[in-house]
Amino acid sequence: MRHHSIISRPVSLIILALALLTTAFTACSKGETYADQKEKERKAINKFLNRDVAIVSNEGDTVIHVGHINVISESQFFRQDSLTDVSKNEYVLFAGTGVYMQIVRPGVGEKLQSGQTKRVISRYLEYNILTDTIQSRSDILYYSTTPDIIDITNSYGTFTASFNTENGGGAMYRIYGNSTVVPSGWLIPFTYIRIGRQMTADDQIAKVRLIVPHSQGQANAKSGVYPCFYEITFQEMRN
């Protein structure tokens, strides 16, 4: 009996070790690497580009009909005076960042010049492409008096910005951890749009649509590795 007990203990330890290794291997195989997550994001964006997307509210109303997207190159975009043809549902792909942009309206007023700083009111809708859901938005009555306000500076063509919180902060600031960091993808349009105010009934403030990969997005998108679609308006804030 004594001999039996000496043998059974190491055997049981080996069995236990094998069970733990199997559990660990199973857990690892079910987990996703960062490369896996990026590949899932890439596929989700490609699918989004090629299907007739309609963004629907919780009430079942179509908020934005995105449609089938026609991707154009930066070179074609520049040949078109840095505009996208909305009638053809064109989006330009900025290959260096992975951001897709459609200029729905180029805006009124002037472009932000080098050395200039402006305070800009932005209202947006954010749609999580992976989950097919509206994730956040400030283009609703709740945020009508507290929009997202951006302080943005053009330094020789490089734009830096932060969310201003004097009004308590808008949706992006409140929802994403009271961070004043403006997503990098949001800054890309400022090279091409004009930032002014609506002075007449015919004036139309700048409006863009963006597909933003996690690397250019807000903090949750970066940590969760998911892409977002945005529709955003920008207008100069009154002094």
Share of the chain above pLDDT 90, in %: 79
Alpha-helical (H) ranges within 116-238 are 171-175, 184-187, 219-224
- The model's confidence at residue 30, banded by pLDDT at 50, 70 and 90, is low
d(CA 18, CA 207): 59
- The model's confidence at residue 199, banded by pLDDT at 50, 70 and 90, is confident
- Whether residue 23 has pLDDT greater than 90: no
> Rounded to two decimals, what is the model's pTM?
0.86
- Whether residue 233 has pLDDT greater than 50: yes
Share of the chain above pLDDT 70, in %: 87
Q: For 34-236, CATH number? A: 3.10.50.40
Domain range list for the chain: 1-31, 34-236
Which residues make Cβ contacts (< 8 Å) with residue 167, sequence separation at least 6? 145, 146, 147, 149
